[in-house]
Each structure stands twice: as C-alpha cells, then as structure tokens.
A and B are shown apart, each in its own frame.
Chain A
Amino acid sequence: MDNTIWEKNLAAMDQQYPVFADMLRKKQYSEDDVEVQVEQSMDGEIIFRVKKQEQLLYLGAKRDAKQPVEIWEELFGEIHKYAAVFLFGVGSGAYLKAVMKNFPKEANLIVYEPSINIFLSLLKEVDLSQEIEKHPIGFIVEGLNETEFTPVMRNSLVLENFRYMKEYVHPNYKALFGEKIREYVKQLQRYMERMIVERNTWHVMSISTAHNIIGNLKYIAEGYHPQLMVNAFPHDGAAILVSAGPSLNKNIHELKRAKNKCLIVAVDTAIKPLMNAGIVPDIMTTVDALKPLGLVDVEGSEQIPLVAPPSAVTAFVEHQKGKKFFYFDGHSLPMLLYSMNHKKFSDVAIGGSVACAGFSLIYKLGFDTIILVGQDLAHTGNRAYADGTFQDIMPEEVTSHMTMVKGNYEEKVPTSEDLRIFLEWFENYIKGMKQRRNVTVYNATEGGAYIEGTEVVTLKEILDQVCQGEDIDFADRIQNLNSEFSAEESKAAKEYVEEIPGQLAEIHRYGEELRKVYIRLQKHGNSGNLNQDTVGKLLRRVKKFTNKCMEKPAYELIEDSIALADSLVRSEQFEAADTMKDEIKEIARKGIIYSDLLIECASLLEEYAKEVLLTDKE
C-alpha cells in the first residue's frame, strides 16, 4: 500500500467534503468480506481482481485495460452541463477518470460503490486527487454513507435535467453485487417514473417549449433573423445592453441621452423600468419558455422590435407588434423553414440567460463598443432585480448562503449559483470576442460583480464619450428592413407550417399502433410459451412505428416534451434481467408508458397546432 496516494486523495477530499474524509480517517465504516487483489495490466494500468465468497472476478482487463474504457468513453458521449451522471461501481477508477476528463463543472457526478473494501483499495492504490479537486464527486459507499443515496439522488435529479441523466454499471458489478446494484438502480428508475407520471408538472414544464415553437412558427416564416440588422446601422458607435440587475436603479435616468446615439438593447425584465423612466429601447430580447407577460405590460412597449429564439413565450411574441426577429436555438423544425428556401438561419449564443443572449446579439450585430448597464450578476444590496421589474420595490433577500465574488465597487458581493455561472459565461465570451475582434466592453453597472475583461466606468463618463455625432434613428431603420424571404419563399414556408398539424396527427396514429404492439408484447410475455420469432417480429414492428414517428420533422416537438419517458425507455433494462420473459415484460411495460405519453402529447400538440396554425385558413 502506498500511504502517499491515500493521503493525497484524502487531502483532496478535505477541500471538497471534509466530513467524508474524516469518516475515512477515523475508520467510521464496517468492512465487508470482499478481498481485493491489485495487479498491473499488460498495458501498465492498475487493475483489481476481487474475491467475494466463491467468486473471483476481474474489474479491469489484464491485457488491454485501456481499450474498453476508451470505447465506453466515446459511446458515453458528451455530458450536458446540467446532467446528473450515476456510476454504479468504481472498480480501480478507470471509468471514473474517463468520465471526469471533460466533465462540466455544473453537472453532478454520483458514484455508488457497494463494497467499502474496494473503495478503500481504490483510495490507497489510485491517485484520484486531481479528479476530486477538480469537481466534487458524490461518493456513496456501502458501509460508510449509503443512507445518503436517496437525498443525493433527489438533489441531483430534477424535472429540468432528467433528460440529461446518464447511468452506467461497472463491468462485472452485476455479477458480484447484483442485489445491491439492482436495489439502487431500481430506486433511480422508480424515482424517474414517478416524475413522469406526475402529469401536472410534466404538462407545465415540458410541453411549454413545444407550444411556444408551434405558436411562433407563423412568425418565423416571415423570414426575419438578427443577421439582417448587421448592415442597417454603422458599427463605429456603441451599443448598450440594459439588464434588470438592482444597480439599474442608480443610473437608469442617464440612459435618456443615449437614445438615438447608441443602439439600446434591453432584456425583457428591464422593459418596465425603462419605459417608466421614459426610455424606449430599440430592441427587446427574451429567451425563456416560461415568463410572465406582466413584465412587458406597459404602454408603448408593444412597438419595440423583438429578438427571440423560436422557443420564446408566444404570448410575448404576440404582444410585440413591431418586427420579430428569430434566431436558431438548436431546434431543427424552425430551421427547416430557412433551409427549404436555401437560406441561412442566423444564431445567437443563448448562454443560459436573456442577458447572455442580448450580449451575444450585440456582438454579432458588429458593435465593437459595448456598454453594460444593470448587469449586476450579483445580489447588490441583497436584492435580485431592479425596482419596478417584478415588484415596484424589490424586497431584500437573505444572501448569507451565497458565494462572495469580487465586486465592481465593493470588495465582495453575494451571488447565487446561477448568476455565478452566467458571470463565467460573460468572462469566457468576452475572452473569445477579443480574440476575434478589437472589442471593448465597458461595465457601467454601478454595483454588482466584476466581470473579467470589462472596463468599469460610470454610465455618465462613458456616455459623455460615446454620445457624440449625428442622431441615428435605430428604431426606424429596423422597422424598414426587408425579410430574408421573397414573397414566394415566405409563402412556401407558411404552407409548410400548415402541414405541421397533419404531421402530428400521423405521429398520433403511429403512437396508437405502437401501443398496440407493446400490449401484444406484454401479453406474449405473460403467456407461458415465449416464442423468439414472435418476440423478434413484435420488436421489429416497434422499430417500424418508432421510425415512422421519428422521421416526421414535427416529432422534434414531441421529443422535447416526452424526453423523460424517452430516457426511461432507454435506461438500463436492469431490474428484470433475470429471465428473457421478465425482460420482455419490462420492455413492454416501459413501452406502454412511452406510447401513452407519445399519444397524449401528439394529441395535445395536434389540437393546439390546428388552433394556432389553421384557424386563419378555416
């Protein structure tokens, strides 16, 4: 045993979870009957061979230990930044090290190890200090802290990140610790199922994106995207991004003189305070799929041109009577309207918040002088937003649990986890911008967090510099822009949009067929006589109807909405793996849940699509 490795690993744990490291030092665990033999593979890797009662099994390959892990790593694929990843079994740490290589810092990694002896051997033999220091790993070890599995699982997995969940059972762990692994995988799957069947939440959260895209399609078909504005104004001036951070209260009055001197882009939350201060921004941006319309419910705001992704709240889009510019946000159905006309659908980096999108928009419009206002990225004065946004006077909040970061004017300011992520996004984006162009970003937020790469100035100072020269009527120039589409192209796009309800109806019909096949499969699984040919035939029909659904472009809308069900069906077929018959029954059971949701979702979206896309026609 190498004490150095043990100490290094524990020292790394001290930084992330000292209580856990202490429990290991004080031996607050009960050892099990597993014996671990440490060997070296022919390609130089440390591998474990484990003896448990009569079983003696390798946890890593003797000849080529690296190759299976490399293949697995490639197939495991990219991990979403908000993902929860569950590894069942840690072995000699090869899979853990592989998954940690490009692990996003916002994602959660939970490692369940059913044997304390394997875990102790790992910490003694394999240096994991870099991985542990890089990212907190949720180690759950039987005999040490197994009771934490449920709370950790519930904290890591929420409705919004279910679709990004990934799980993996380490090779040979099913053979060695089948019962224990099954117990935890089953708990995870049951938790997912419960979330899926809690329809109310599902309806509210998951279907909103699809609803918005359907509702916005007819506007997207008009052919306006942000790139059209690039040549509409000179770029030697400045553009101002107005966000709704609490510091906006301090200098909002200054913005009046920026009108027609600088392009003023405002995030949706800043519209009310701006309009109430007599400032009409040139562009409004919004991104969220769920946001109250009350934020922009102020007289005159409806004339402000809107820049949004296709998934933005349709009520917002409809509220705006000026030009509506949409950009590519990863959904291929809206992009199809452009590609069918051989046109490019321009994009904007969303970055997780409306302010990130607004900032990227200004950069992409070609401005090299960007001024940030109300971009606190912190709870300045213990407030989340400027007054006049969600409430006339925003209340003070408790910020004692928040992270403290360097401030623009104060030494440290409190910031929440999501704002800290956006802060990092701004810093990285600015770094990238500066590598490509000579861009200067002035942070005229008179409070809040310091953003690396910006120059901190007062709004008065910077407006004195940039508000020179002739007036430019930005609003008028935007209003006079022509569409990317000719009249014929726009007509073709609109005709395609009218096909969407029909596509959803077909998916609905295939969903019904799919359900019938799963029911037949279930009946066959329940019968005493399992026939492989019948099973093969039924599974081929499942594939046929699934493919028929998936080849319709409108399936993307459903896929978004039933991502939870989809991930459940694709998750490890584990708990019923004892016999072929049980496995078939489990496939059928999950398939029925999936097809029920598919049918329900297709039906709801079909009705909605008919209502919003065909009403004018009827």
Chain B
Amino acid sequence: MEEKAIGLFNKLQETCVKYHYGKIDTVLKDAQGMSGEIQDFCSAFLQGNIFGMAEDDYQLLQTYTLKVLEDYIGALKHQDTVWMLDTLDAGLRELLLLFMDEKDMGEHTNG
C-alpha cells in the first residue's frame, strides 16, 4: 500500500504544482489517467477492515473513501476542474498520507 500511495501522491503532486505554480491546467486529463490507480488504492479501504482499526473508525474511513470516489466520479462526469482539484488535493491526499511518512513526501508539502 505504501508504494501505491507514494506513486499516486507523486502524480497528484505534479498535477497540483502544474496547476497552481505553472498555470498549466491538465487536472481533468491527469485525473482521468490516474483512474485505475485511484480505484485500486481506494478499493483496499472498502474490502473490509483489513487494517485492524476500531469499527467506528473504520466506518468513518469507509464513508470518507466513498465520498472521495463519489466526488472523483462527479467531477469527471461534469468536467469540473475546481471540483476535481479539490477532490485530489484535499480529499484523496488525506487518504494517501495515511500510508506515508514525512520523508516520502520529499520537498512536496501541500500546495
């Protein structure tokens, strides 16, 4: 999971940096390209409590994950850059960070 999280984090980071700092808007295209990895990563949270978490916490995590996926699909369907960027940057990022420590994030902090 850690490896998947790092791979996805780096892609997400590149998209956000390009958008904010390079004024290059490839958010929807990049997000579409990440669809397989996003599904793969998120499905791990939905296949049962494999992380040995407290049941209440797991429920929260599951709801959160479903909401991220729902937003991802909604943003893609409506071709909504603002929605997608928020889903990746503020939604998915939180899930990815669960599997990463500071060194994995390198120089890239949020934004």
**Contact surface of A with B, Cβ cutoff 8 Å:** 55-65, 67-68, 71-72, 75, 171-172, 175, 572
Q: Which of B43-85 contact A (CB under 8 A)?
A: 71, 78-83, 85
Q: List 27 A-B contacts (CB under 8 A).
A: A56-B78, A56-B80, A57-B78, A57-B79, A58-B82, A61-B86, A61-B90, A62-B71, A62-B83, A63-B86, A63-B87, A63-B90, A63-B91, A64-B86, A65-B86, A67-B89, A67-B90, A67-B110, A68-B86, A68-B89, A71-B111, A72-B20, A75-B20, A171-B81, A172-B81, A172-B82, A175-B79
Instruction: Judge whether A60 and B82 touch: CB under 8 Å.
Output: yes
Most buried by A among B83, B87, B110: B83
Q: How far is the CA of A56 from the CA of B21 in the complex (A)?
A: 26
A60, B110: Cα distance in complex, Å: 18
A71 touches B90 (CB 8 A): no
Task: Give the docked Cα–Cα distance between A64 and B21 (Å).
Answer: 18
Sample of 11 further A-B pairs with CB below 8 A, known A65-B86, A67-B111 = A55-B79, A57-B82, A57-B83, A58-B82, A59-B82, A61-B86, A62-B86, A75-B20, A75-B21, A175-B79, A175-B81
Q: Which 7 A-B pairs have the closest CB atoms?
A: A61-B86, A64-B90, A63-B90, A58-B82, A58-B83, A71-B111, A57-B80
A63 (CB) vs chain B CBs: closest residue: B90
Report the bound CA distance from A57 to B86 in whole Å.
13
Cβ of B81: which chain A residues have Cβ within 8 Å of it? 171-172, 175
Q: How far is the CB of B55 from chain A (nearest CB, A)?
A: 24
Closest CB in chain A relative to B8 CB, distance in Å: 18
Instruction: Tell me, yes or no, whether B23 is within 8 Å of chain A by CB.
Output: yes
The closest CB in chain B to the CB of A54 belongs to B78
- Residues of A within 8 Å of B79, CB to CB, are 55, 57, 175
Q: A61, B82: Cβ atoms under 8 Å?
A: yes
- Tell me the minimal C-beta distance from A26 to chain B in angstroms: 34
Measured CB to CB, the closest approach of chain A to B65, in angstroms, equals: 14
How long is the Cα–Cα vector from A59 to B87 in the complex, in angstroms?
14
Residues of A within 8 A of B20 (CB): 68, 71-72, 75
**Residues of chain B contacted by A64 (CB below 8 angstroms):** 86, 89-90
Min C-beta distance of A315 to chain B, whole Å: 43
Inter-chain CA distance A175–B25, complex, in Å, is: 12
Q: Chain B, interface size: which category?
A: 10 to 19
Cα-based distance from A64 to B81 in the complex (angstroms)? 14
CA distance A60 to B79 in the complex (A): 14
Cβ A572 vs Cβ B23 within 8 A = yes
Q: Which residues of the other chain, B, contact A55 by a CB distance below 8 angstroms?
A: 78-79
Contacts of A60 in B (CB 8 A): 82
Closest approach, in angstroms, between the C-beta of A167 and any C-beta of chain B? 11
- Shortest CB-to-CB span from B102 to chain A, Å, is 20
Selected from B21, B80, B85, the residue in CB contact (under 8 A) with A68 is: B85
Q: Assuming A62-B71, A64-B90, is B110 touching A171 (CB within 8 A)?
A: no
- B86 and A172 form a contact (CB under 8 A): no
Q: Which of A62, A65, A572 has the most chain B CB atoms closer than 10 A to its own CB?
A: A62
Q: Is the CB of A172 within 8 A of B21?
A: no
The complex places the Cα of A57 from the Cα of B79 at a distance, in Å, of 8
Max chain B Cβ within 10 angstroms of own Cβ: one of A65, A68, A75: A68
**Given known A-B contacts A61-B85, A62-B86, A64-B89, A172 and B80 have beta carbons under 8 A apart:** yes
Task: List the B side residues contacting A172 at CB < 8 Å.
Answer: 80-82
Which B13-46 residues sit within 8 Å CB-CB of chain A? Answer: 20-21, 23
Q: What's the minimum C-beta distance from A208 to chain B, rounded to whole angstroms?
A: 33
What residues of chain A lie closer than 8 Å to B82, measured between beta carbons?
57-61, 68, 171-172
Q: How far is the CB of B15 from chain A (nearest CB, A)?
A: 13
Cα–Cα distance between A408 and B89 once the two chains are bound (Å): 59
In the complex, which residue of chain A has the Cβ closest to the Cβ of B28? A175
In chain B, what residue has the closest Cβ to A573? B23
Chain A residue, CB-CB nearest to B77 = A56
Which of chain B's residues has its CB closest to A169's CB?
A: B23
B21, B71, B86 — most chain A CB neighbours (10 Å): B86
A67 to B78 alpha-carbon distance, docked (Å): 22
Contacts of A171 in B (CB 8 A): 81-82, 85
Residue of A nearest to B91 (CB): A63
Contacts of B85 in A (CB 8 A): 61, 68, 171
List, in ascending order, chain B residues with CB within 8 A of A56's CB: 78, 80
Chain A residues positioned under 8 Å from B110 (CB to CB): 67
Q: What's the minimum C-beta distance from B32 to chain A, rounded to whole angstroms?
A: 15
Please report which residues of chain B, range 80-105, place their CB below 8 angstroms from some CB of chain A when the two chains form the complex. 80-83, 85-87, 89-91
Inter-chain CA distance A62–B83, complex, in Å, is 7
A313 to B80, CA, bound (A): 55
Q: B71: which A residues are within 8 A, CB to CB? A: 62
Q: Chain B's nearest CB lies how many Å from the CB of A25?
A: 32
Q: Cα distance A209–B104 when bound, in Å?
A: 50
Cα-based distance from A175 to B28 in the complex (angstroms)? 12
A62 to B71, CA, bound (A): 10
- The distance in angstroms between the C-alpha atoms of A57 and B83, with both chains bound, is 8
Which among B82, B86, B91, B110 has the greatest number of chain A C-beta atoms within 10 A?
A: B82
Report the minimum CB–CB distance from B23 to chain A (whole Å).
7
Q: Shortest CB–CB separation between residue A289 and chain B, in angstroms?
A: 33
Give the chain A neighbours of B86 by CB distance below 8 A: 58, 61-65, 68
CB nearest neighbor in A for B23: A572
Chain B residue nearest to A56 (CB atoms) is B78
In the assembled complex, the Cα of A61 lies from the Cα of B81 at a distance in Å of: 10
A75 to B90, CA, bound (A): 19
CB distance from B59 to the nearest CB of A (A): 19
CA distance A60 to B82 in the complex (A): 7
Residues of chain B lying within 8 A (CB to CB) of residue A62: 71, 83, 86
Q: How far is the CA of A62 from the CA of B80 in the complex (A)?
A: 12
Query: B94 CB to closest chain A CB, in angstroms?
Result: 9
Cα A62 to Cα B111 in complex, Å, equals 17
Residues of chain B lying within 8 A (CB to CB) of residue A67: 89-90, 110-111
CA distance A320 to B89 in the complex (A): 62
Q: How far is the CB of A410 from chain B (nearest CB, A)?
A: 53
| Residue of A whose beta carbon sits closest to that of B79 | A175
A58–B80 touching, CB < 8 Å: yes
Separation of A72 and B89 alpha carbons in the complex (Å): 15
Shortest CB distance A165–B (Å): 16
Report the bound CA distance from A171 to B20 in whole Å. 11
List B contacts of A71 (CB < 8 A).
20, 111
In the complex, residue of chain A having the shortest beta-carbon distance to the beta carbon of B78: A56
Task: Collect the chain A residues with CB atoms within 8 Å of residue B83's CB.
Answer: 57-58, 61-62
Most buried by B among A57, A60, A572: A57
